[in-house]
Amino acid sequence: MIYADNAATTKMSKAAIDAMLPYMEEYYGNPSSLYAFGQQAKEALENARSRIAACLHADPREVTFTSGGSEADNQAIMTAAALGMRRGKKHIVSTAFEHHAVLHTLEKLKKQGFEVTLLDVHNTGLLRPEQVAEAIREDTCLVTIMYANNEIGTIQPVTEIGAICREKGVLFHTDAVQAAGHLHIDVKEQNIDMLSLSAHKFHGPKGIGALYAKRGIILETIINGGAQERGKRAGTENIPAIMGMAAALEEACAAMDEHSAKLTVLRERLIHGLDQIPYSELNGDHKHRLPGNVNFCFEGIEGESLLLLLDDKGICASSGSACTSGSLDPSHVLLAIGRPHEVAHGSLRLSLGEDMTEADIDEIILAVTDVVNYLRNISPFWRDLVNGKRPHIFER
């Protein structure tokens, strides 16, 4: 099997698993217990917090553990909204192609009287920092823009956006779930006020994440109950997962340059190979993208069929369209970069992993080429394109 869906989740690293086991087998105490056995767990918790903070160039007191990226996004946005509400500021700036953890939270706030400006990300999947400056108003309480997009991998000018927000005195949150462990993050240098991350996207365990919030930002609670996480996130801490996350993030950050160089070579080989397929196009800017992300649209193809046939050939990939969620709508990300519905349905995301080889890439290129040809040959839609009954969208 070739696993090319690392943007969906990653395999846990040996270091992450090894870091977790002692906290399941031996040190299983509750960090809130006062006896020494509980305090060992408490020490581990604070040790992990410090190590994660160090990877972000943050202070440990600025890191709150959550159940993952979705919860961190929810908490960051609800925090800014609560602060804004108190000052009569009910306007939020974001983009049309954020993760649903952000977009659906913004939808909820709209029902509570907030106004949301979704900035255009153009056909490149990239925002210009000036757009943020222009969109900020007197009543803006938050700018929330993802660091790197989970579908098309485009990397936003986060440092420039942070500088603009700081100058204008507006809170800046970034969903860095795809960036953490893969791209350089320095919350101080980049003027980031809040940042979300999730362990299972960098070879850590699922169900654990963190929210960085700059000192002075009082988090709004989403999960109410006990006084864990300084009263900002109730629930007994998942110490094994937290230890796994710390180990995975340290490992990913230490090997970042090496991994990035390796993935970029594989990515370029794959992009070059898929580019040979007629009437296909890469989605999102080629240069400003995650080292492991490849996302293509193929004319006359239906994403789900493509995935199922690739699965038969032992290749795990993903498509932009959200049929799994019971909807036939194409990906909101591909529509946001201006892809027409009919090609947005024929998209394929291949997100590469550090342990892949050039031989894997070549196997993927062969398999995708085969499957696209096969599907086009049996497609009445494709026949119409070939016979000139419908215009092509892409150039050959």
Ligand X SMILES: *Cc1c(COP(=O)(O)O)cnc(C)c1O
Catalytic residues: 323
Q: Which range of residues in 66-74, 130-138, 232-240, 243-251 is near ligand X by CB under 6 A?
A: 66-74
Q: Which range of residues in 49-57, 108-116, 135-143, 175-183 is near ligand X by CB under 6 A?
A: 175-183
Binds ligand X (CB under 6 A): choice among 19, 101, 185, 310: 101
175: contact with ligand X by CB under 6 A: yes
250: contact with ligand X by CB under 6 A: no
| Shortest CB 194 distance to ligand X, Å | 14
| First-residue to last-residue Cα distance in the chain | 31
Contact 211, 58 (CB under 8 A): no
| Shortest CB 364 distance to ligand X, Å | 21
Number of residues counted as binding ligand X (CB under 6 A): 14
Q: Which range of residues in 65-73, 271-279, 303-311, 376-384 is near ligand X by CB under 6 A?
A: 65-73
Binds ligand X (CB under 6 A): choice among 29, 69, 84, 240: 69
Distance between CA atoms of 30 and 158, rounded to whole angstroms?
38
| Shortest CB 195 distance to ligand X, Å | 11
| Shortest CB 70 distance to ligand X, Å | 3
Q: Which of residues 286-305 bind ligand X (CB under 6 A)?
A: none
| Shortest CB 352 distance to ligand X, Å | 15
Which residue lies nearer to ligand X by CB, 40 or 66? Answer: 66
Contact 331, 151 (CB under 8 A): yes
What's the chain's length in residues? 396
| Long-range pairs, 252-259, Cβ under 8 A, ≥24 | 252/180, 252/181, 252/182, 252/202, 252/203, 253/55, 253/181, 255/354, 256/181, 256/182, 256/183, 256/184, 259/182, 259/291, 259/354
Three-class SS state of 309: helix
Binds ligand X (CB under 6 A): choice among 125, 209, 244, 346: 209
For 337-363, the DSSP string reads TT--HHHHTTEEEEE--TT--HHHHHH
Three-class SS state of 36: helix
Binds ligand X (CB under 6 A): choice among 198, 295, 318, 347: 198
| Alpha helices, DSSP H, located in 220-255 | 239-254
Which residue lies nearer to ligand X by CB, 62 or 71? Answer: 71
State the burial class of residue 227 (Cβ atoms within 10 Å of its Cβ: 0-12, 13-18, 19+): exposed
Integer angstrom CA distances of residue 162 from 12, 82, 116, 156, 186: 32, 21, 19, 11, 11
Which residue lies nearer to ligand X by CB, 71 or 251? Answer: 71
Q: Which of residues 10-29 bind ligand X (CB under 6 A)?
A: none
| Shortest CB 206 distance to ligand X, Å | 7
- Strand-pair partners of 115: 91
The pair of structure tokens assigned to 13 is 């690293």
Q: Which of residues 81-100 bind ligand X (CB under 6 A)?
A: 99
68: contact with ligand X by CB under 6 A: yes
Q: Which amino acid is at 326?
A: G
| Shortest CB 273 distance to ligand X, Å | 25
70: contact with ligand X by CB under 6 A: yes
Distance between CA atoms of 199 and 307, rounded to whole angstroms?
26
User: Site mask, ligand X, residues 124-163, x = CB under 6 A?
Assistant: ----------------------x---x-------------
Q: Determine which helix (DSSP H) or strand (DSSP E) holds 295, and give its type and residue range.
A: strand 293-298
The pair of structure tokens assigned to 101 is 């953890």
- Please tell me what DSSP assigns to residue 30: -
- Strand-pair partners of 175: 196
Binds ligand X (CB under 6 A): choice among 105, 174, 178, 318: 178
Q: Determine which helix (DSSP H) or strand (DSSP E) holds 193, and give its type and residue range.
A: none
Q: Which range of residues in 76-84, 171-179, 283-291, 379-387 is near ligand X by CB under 6 A?
A: 171-179
| Shortest CB 224 distance to ligand X, Å | 20
177: contact with ligand X by CB under 6 A: yes
- Provide the binding-site residues for ligand X, judged by CB under 6 A: 68-70, 73, 99, 101, 146, 150, 175, 177-178, 198, 201, 209
